[in-house]
Structure 1
Amino acid sequence: MKVTAQSRLTPVQLVIRPDRQGYIVEDAAAGDYYEMNELCVRALQRMQEGAAIGEIEAELRERFPREDVDVIGFADQLQEMGLVAELDGVALRRDEGPAQGGVGAGRPAGDRQGGFAWIPASFARFWFHPLLLLLYGCAIAANAAILIVRPDLFPRYGDVFLFDSMVLNSVVWLGLSFVLLMLHELGHIMAVRSFGLPARLGIGHRFVFVVFETEMDGIWRLTPKQRNVAFLAGMGVDQLVLLLCLALQAAFPEQSGLIGGLAALAALDVFVKLAFQCCFYMKTDLYYVAENVTGCYNLMERSRDWLAGKLWKGRSAQKQPEETRAVRWYALFYAAGYVFSVTLIAVFFAPQLIVSVTTIVPWLAEPQQPARFWDAVVFLVELLGLGGLLAYAWSKNRKSAGAEKKDRSAAR
Structure 2
Amino acid sequence: MSVRLHRLTMVAERDGVMVGRPDTGSYAMFPAEGAETLRQLGAGKPVDEVAAWYESECGTPLDFDDFFEVLDELGFLVPEDVDAPVAKPVRWQRVGRWAFSWPAWVLYVAVMVAAVVAMVRVPSLRPSYELFFFTEHISLIPIVLTFTQIPLVLLHEWFHVLAGRRLGLPSTLGIGRRLYYLVAETRLDALLSVSRRQRYLPFLAGMLLDLILVAVFTLTAAVLMGENVPAWVPGMVLAISFSTLLRLVWQFMFYLETDLYHVIATALRCADLQNATRFFIRSQVRRLLRRPPPVPDAEWTDRDLVVARWYAPLLVLGYGFSLGSLAWAGIPTVWRFWSTVFERLAAPDTPASEVVDTLIFLSMAVAQLGLLIYVTVRDRRARKRTRAMQGELA
**1:241, distance to aligned residue in structure 2 (A):** 1.7
Q: Is the 8 A contact 2:9 2:22 kept in 1?
A: no
**1:38, distance to aligned residue in structure 2 (A):** 2.3
Q: Hey, what does 1:66 align to over in structure 2?
A: none
Gap change, CA 1:132 and 1:406, over 3 Å in 2:
farther
1:379 counterpart letter in structure 2: F
Q: Which has the higher contact order (CA 8 A, sep 6+)?
A: 1
Question: 1:178-257 to 2 correspondence within 5 Å?
Answer: 178-216=150-188, 218-247=190-219, 252=225, 257=231
Q: Is the 8 A contact 1:12 1:27 kept in 2?
A: no
Asked if 1:155 corresponds to 2:128, the answer is: yes
Q: Is the 8 A contact 2:269 2:303 kept in 1?
A: no
Q: Hey, what does 2:17 align to over in structure 1?
A: 23
Q: Distance in 1 between matches of 2:328 and 2:245?
A: 13
Q: Hey, what does 1:378 align to over in structure 2?
A: 360
Gap change, CA 1:326 and 1:248, over 3 Å in 2:
farther
Q: TM-score, with normalisation over the residues of structure 1?
A: 0.72
- Consecutive unaligned residues in structure 1, runs of 5 or more: 1-7, 64-68, 95-111
Q: Hey, what does 1:126 align to over in structure 2?
A: 98
Q: Hey, what does 2:301 align to over in structure 1?
A: 321
Gap change, CA 1:297 and 1:400, over 3 Å in 2:
farther
Asked if 1:298 corresponds to 2:272, the answer is: yes
Question: 1:108-147 to 2 correspondence within 5 Å?
Answer: 117=91, 119=92, 121-130=93-102, 132-133=104-105
- Consecutive unaligned residues in structure 2, runs of 5 or more: none
- Greater shift, 29-38 or 369-378, is seen at 29-38
Gap change, CA 1:144 and 1:74, over 3 Å in 2:
farther
Gap change, CA 1:302 and 1:52, over 3 Å in 2:
farther
**1:144, distance to aligned residue in structure 2 (A):** 8.6
- Greater shift, 52-61 or 329-338, is seen at 52-61
**1:362, distance to aligned residue in structure 2 (A):** 0.7
Q: Is the 8 A contact 2:33 2:54 kept in 1?
A: no
Q: Hey, what does 2:237 align to over in structure 1?
A: 263
Q: Distance in 1 between matches of 2:48 and 2:238?
A: 66
Gap change, CA 1:260 and 1:30, over 3 Å in 2:
closer
The percent identity for this pair of structures is 22
**1:237, distance to aligned residue in structure 2 (A):** 0.5
The CA deviation string for residues 99-121 of structure 1, in whole angstroms up to 9 with x for no partner, is xxxxxxxxxxxxx8898x3x4x3
**1:387, distance to aligned residue in structure 2 (A):** 0.9
Q: Distance in 2 between matches of 1:143 and 1:305?
A: 45
2:29 counterpart letter in structure 1: E
Q: Hey, what does 1:335 align to over in structure 2?
A: 316
Count of aligned pairs: 371
**1:344, distance to aligned residue in structure 2 (A):** 5.0
Q: Hey, what does 2:378 align to over in structure 1?
A: 396
Q: Distance in 1 between matches of 2:33 and 2:250?
A: 39
Q: Distance in 2 between matches of 1:350 and 1:261?
A: 27
Question: 1:80-95 to 2 correspondence within 5 Å?
Answer: 80-84=73-77
Q: Is the 8 A contact 1:139 1:239 kept in 2?
A: no
Q: Is the 8 A contact 1:277 1:285 kept in 2?
A: yes
**1:174, distance to aligned residue in structure 2 (A):** 0.8
Q: Hey, what does 2:28 align to over in structure 1?
A: 34
Q: Distance in 2 between matches of 1:36 and 1:148?
A: 54
**1:331, distance to aligned residue in structure 2 (A):** 2.8
Asked if 1:353 corresponds to 2:334, the answer is: yes
**1:131, distance to aligned residue in structure 2 (A):** 5.2
SS of equivalent residue, structure 2 residue 255: coil
CA RMSD, Structure 1 to Structure 2 (Å): 4.2
Question: 1:40-79 to 2 correspondence within 5 Å?
Answer: 40-45=34-39, 49=45, 50-51=47-48, 62=59, 76-79=69-72
**1:234, distance to aligned residue in structure 2 (A):** 0.9
Q: Distance in 2 between matches of 1:206 and 1:143?
A: 31
1:153 counterpart letter in structure 2: R
Q: Is the 8 A contact 1:200 1:217 kept in 2?
A: no
- Greater shift, 322-331 or 352-361, is seen at 322-331
Q: Is the 8 A contact 2:277 2:311 kept in 1?
A: yes
Q: Hey, what does 1:13 align to over in structure 2?
A: 6
Which of 326, 335, 343 is the matching residue for 1:362?
A: 343
SS of equivalent residue, structure 2 residue 320: helix
Q: Hey, what does 2:258 align to over in structure 1?
A: 284
**1:20, distance to aligned residue in structure 2 (A):** 3.6
**1:128, distance to aligned residue in structure 2 (A):** 0.5
Gap change, CA 1:246 and 1:347, over 3 Å in 2:
farther
Gap change, CA 1:399 and 1:240, over 3 Å in 2:
same
Gap change, CA 1:301 and 1:378, over 3 Å in 2:
same
Q: Distance in 1 between matches of 2:176 and 2:384?
A: 15
Gap change, CA 1:321 and 1:227, over 3 Å in 2:
closer
Q: Is the 8 A contact 1:13 1:29 kept in 2?
A: no
**1:53, distance to aligned residue in structure 2 (A):** 10
**1:171, distance to aligned residue in structure 2 (A):** 0.9
Q: Distance in 2 between matches of 1:190 and 1:367?
A: 54
Q: Is the 8 A contact 1:197 1:217 kept in 2?
A: no
